[in-house]
Amino acid sequence: MLGDQLIKNERIALVEVIKNSYDADASWVKVTFEGFGENFRVDPKKSKIIVEDDGTGMTRSILEKHWISPATRVKKVAKEMKDATPKGRKIQGEKGIGRFAILKLGKTLSIITRPDKSQEEYTLDLDISHYDDDFLTEDSKPKDLFLDDIKLTLSVAEKATRIKAELVELGAREEKRKPHGTRIEVSNLRGSWSEGRVRDVYDDLIRLQSIFTDIDIDPEDKPQPEFEVLIYKGSEFQTFSDDYVDRLHTLIQQNAVLRITEGIFDQDKRTFKFQLNGKPMVLPLNDPDITGIALFRDAFGQHGEVLEERDTKCGPFSFGFFIFDFSKEAAGKYLLDTEQKKLLKEHRIYLYRDNVRVYPYGDPDDDWLQTDMYRGTKAAGMFLSNDQVVGFVNITQKENPKLKDKTNREGLIEIGDATRDFRNLLQILLAWVRKKPYEQYRIGVRTTKDAEIVKQQLVRARLSELEGALAGNKPAQAAVQEVAKLYQAERSYLIQRAETTETRGGRARLTAIGLILQNACVMHQCC
Ligand SMILES: Nc1ncnc2c1ncn2[C@@H]1O[C@H](COP(=O)(O)OP(=O)(O)OP(=O)(O)O)[C@@H](O)[C@H]1O
Ligand SMILES: [Mg+2]
């Protein structure tokens, strides 16, 4: 029940299994759909999902003491002694229940594992297909079932037969397998599969680690990942195009209106620091542009009183955001075509802990920063839309111990104020981006557009087109000529007024008044 009923879907289940391979310092994980029909149709007798890695494997003692007992927090204890694996990875596991997620995939398991520096290979078999999903019957007969009634068998091969140093195909290359690792075979599959679902799994799995680490590196120069996930259908390598990461990077490099990079929230100094389009910025929480944001006042009091009594509880974090203009007014490189918009809409703000993704944040249908919700319930103009922002937030287990995953692996738990503070800070920062730099950009777009109208004398041109189109209708043509004359008179009058004001040195004053009005409008959202 911990696996099947707690975990939402097969995607999250596979992610859990693969995180265990990551923790075991594997350099690759192969997910094979064995015995599936066309379009990944499940054959109840033949279909199996096999997840194999070249990690450290499990010793007999780990299998006997931990694998078969729920919530033995070996990793949590190990982490307290040493916080990284020999490969330097921060251990992801903590609760001691992730493996049960495999039972979301199917009811019969066989775990074959060979620990590092051992000739022995162990096979642990578990079959729960005799029980109903609620464990109330065995072979359809009612039964009071307890955990120790569930039978597992462990067989030991003194000389490994499955996990051996032999050639293994990994996509386009072949290499000699390391003589250790784990292979999990799941049969009696529960759900149905299709090419689309496998592609979704693939998208999730290749996004397990941050896709933002090498944004500015050329696709050809990007290093080989140190942890690779490969999907096979039988012996066929499944090559779903994954150039979307490169395409996303190109969009970020070339078409983002605002690039907020190298961002950190310094909890001690209560300050955001970042580069805005390459320019260093420091934005303390007591900056009037921040305290003026309604979200700030809702979260931390009218004048930030809450922060006088306590610190923010989430801990420091780092971030990067890339803001695009989805409107038709966007000009030049900022104007996006349908394909580009489609790609951007598939990515939102990802959350990574020690460089590994916290699901489902970042998924297209996830709104963890409640942006769409606020846009719907408050003034839409106050917030950037979810579509136009792509980005990431990085946290660590060490610095953000209170930001913990829910047991069902669907986001962070609300403990005390930590998660709430974290979310509030990010929402406030994004509201600031909308209110200040993005607004300035929008004003620039509007002004350029208006200036173009004047420069090209578009009104006059359209009026004479209209006059032409009214040929044969003398009174209407006369009316249009009259409008043209009046427009010209008004234009001359306004130009003359503007020039007089300027010569009297009034320009600065007018600009100042204009700016005050503009800011007031932004603050009160009146336009
Ligand atoms: N692929 C694997 N390679 C090596 N050991 C594994 C593998 N999968 C599971 N294990 C072992 O089984 C134990 C249980 O895994 P499980 O995912 O249930 O818990 P966890 O990773 O410790 O914590 P969490 O519930 O947070 O994932 C792990 O601590 C690890 O020792
Ligand atoms: Mg785990």
Domain identity same for 210 and 195: yes
pLDDT of residue 407: 79
d(CA 420, CA 430): 15
Tokens of 72: 């033995």
99 lines ligand 1 (CB under 6 A): yes
Of all protein residues, whose CA lies closest to atom 22 belonging to ligand 1? 96
Name the nearest CA neighbour of 280 among 256, 261, 265.
261
Mutate-to-test residue for ligand 1 from 2, 19, 20, highest number of ligand atoms within 8 A of CB: 20
Ranges of beta strands (E only) in 2-83 are 28-34, 48-53
17 domain-assigned: yes
Mutate-to-test residue for ligand 1 from 74, 99, 122, 409, highest number of ligand atoms within 8 A of CB: 99
pLDDT of residue 523: 46
How far apart, in Å, do the first and last CA atoms of the chain sit? 53
Could you report the per-residue pLDDT of 328-360, keeping only the tens digit for each? 888 889 999 999 999 999 999 999 999 999 988
Domain identity same for 304 and 413: yes
- Smallest-distance ligand from the CA of 96: 1
Q: Which helix (H) or strand (E) holds 371?
A: helix 371-377
Domain identity same for 417 and 522: no
Buried b (16+ CB within 10 A) or exposed e, 178-207: bbbbbbbbbbbbeeebeeebbebbbebbbb
Q: How many domains does the chain divide into? A: 3
pLDDT of residue 378: 75
**Number of H-type helices and E-type strands within the chain:** 15, 19
pLDDT of residue 504: 56
97 lines ligand 1 (CB under 6 A): yes
106 lines ligand 1 (CB under 6 A): no
Ranking 70-79, 109-118, 262-271, 382-391 by mean pLDDT, the lowest is 70-79
- Determine the distance separating the centroid of ligand 1 and the alpha carbon of 206, expressed in angstroms: 20
Domain identity same for 140 and 53: yes
Domain identity same for 54 and 202: yes
Listed residues 406, 441, 476: the one ending a domain: 441
Kindly state the average pLDDT of the residues 253-280.
96
Name the nearest CA neighbour of 317 among 277, 280, 354.
354
Could you report the per-residue pLDDT of 502-516, keeping only the tens digit for each? 555 545 555 555 555
Domain identity same for 372 and 461: no
Listed residues 390, 411, 441: the one ending a domain: 441
- Determine the distance separating the centroid of ligand 2 and the alpha carbon of 75, expressed in angstroms: 9
Q: 126: which strand partners? A: 109, 152
Domain identity same for 468 and 345: no
299 domain-assigned: yes
Could you report the per-residue pLDDT of 453-486, keeping only the tens digit for each? 777 777 888 888 898 899 889 999 999 999 989 9
Contacts of residue 348, defined as CB under 8 A and 6 or more positions apart, other chains included, come to: 361, 362, 363, 364, 366, 367, 386, 389, 390
Burial of 121 from C-beta contacts in 10 A (0-12 / 13-18 / 19+): buried
Domain identity same for 405 and 273: yes
Q: Number of C-alpha atoms within 13 angstroms, CB side, residue 133?
A: 8
Report phi then psi at 515, rounded to 5. -65, -40
pLDDT of residue 444: 87
446 domain-assigned: no
d(CA 44, CA 110): 16
- Which parts of 284-325 fold into alpha helices (H)? 288-291, 294-300, 305-309
Q: Which atom of ligand 1 is nearest to the CA of 73?
A: 22
Query: Quick check: bond before 360 cis, omega within 30?
Result: yes
Q: Residue 211: is its pLDDT beyond 50?
A: yes
450 domain-assigned: no
112 lines ligand 1 (CB under 6 A): no
Kindly state the average pLDDT of the residues 403-414.
85
94 lines ligand 1 (CB under 6 A): yes
d(CA 188, CA 394): 38
Q: Does residue 87 contact residue 25 with C-beta atoms inside 8 Å?
A: yes
Q: Residue 186: is its pLDDT beyond 90?
A: yes
- For 61, 158, 168, the CA distances from 155, given in Å and listed in that order, are 13, 10, 25
Give the length of the chain: 527
Mutate-to-test residue for ligand 1 from 64, 75, 85, 92, highest number of ligand atoms within 8 A of CB: 75
Confidence of residue 299 (pLDDT cuts 50, 70, 90): very high
- For 62, 329, 337, 388, 438, the CA distances from 251, given in Å and listed in that order, are 46, 18, 11, 12, 18
Of all protein residues, whose CA lies closest to atom 21 belonging to ligand 1? 93
Domain identity same for 252 and 235: no
74 lines ligand 1 (CB under 6 A): yes
Q: Which helix (H) or strand (E) holds 351?
A: strand 349-353
449 domain-assigned: no
- What is the span of the domain harbouring residue 7? 2-240
Residue found under tokens 């600009």: 511
d(CA 369, CA 420): 10
Q: Which atom of ligand 1 is nearest to the CA of 184?
A: 1
Of all protein residues, whose CA lies closest to atom 10 belonging to ligand 1? 20
Using DSSP, state whether 478 is helix, strand or coil.
helix
Contacts of residue 396, defined as CB under 8 A and 6 or more positions apart, other chains included, come to: 90, 353, 354
Of all protein residues, whose CA lies closest to atom 9 belonging to ligand 1? 20
Q: Residue 222: is its pLDDT beyond 80?
A: no
Kindly state the average pLDDT of the residues 186-211.
89
Give the mean pLDDT of the chain: 88
- Smallest-distance ligand from the CA of 70: 1
CATH number at residue 222: 3.30.565.10
Q: Number of C-alpha atoms within 13 angstroms, CB side, residue 258?
A: 26
The larger pLDDT score, comparing residue 207 to residue 343, is at 343
**For the ranges 182-186, 298-302, 331-335, the one whose mean pLDDT is highest:** 182-186
Buried b (16+ CB within 10 A) or exposed e, 221-240: eeeeeebebbbbeeeeebee
pLDDT of residue 524: 47
Domain identity same for 147 and 179: yes
Listed residues 383, 407, 441: the one ending a domain: 441
d(CA 397, CA 349): 19
Q: Residue 429: is its pLDDT beyond 60?
A: yes
Could you report the per-residue pLDDT of 148-178, keeping only the tens digit for each? 888 889 999 999 999 999 999 999 899 999 9
Domain identity same for 302 and 407: yes
3-state helix, strand, coil in the chain (%, to 5): 40, 20, 40
Q: Residue 265: is its pLDDT beyond 90?
A: yes
Using DSSP, state whether 285 is helix, strand or coil.
coil
447 domain-assigned: no
d(CA 416, CA 418): 6
Ranking 11-15, 66-70, 140-144 by mean pLDDT, the lowest is 66-70
- Determine the distance separating the centroid of ligand 2 and the alpha carbon of 35, expressed in angstroms: 27
Using DSSP, state whether 286 is helix, strand or coil.
coil
99 domain-assigned: yes
Could you report the per-residue pLDDT of 85-139, keeping only the tens digit for each? 999 999 888 888 888 889 999 999 999 999 999 999 999 999 988 888 888 888 8
292 domain-assigned: yes
Domain identity same for 52 and 179: yes
Name the nearest CA neighbour of 198 among 10, 5, 408, 410.
10
Q: Residue 519: is its pLDDT beyond 60?
A: no
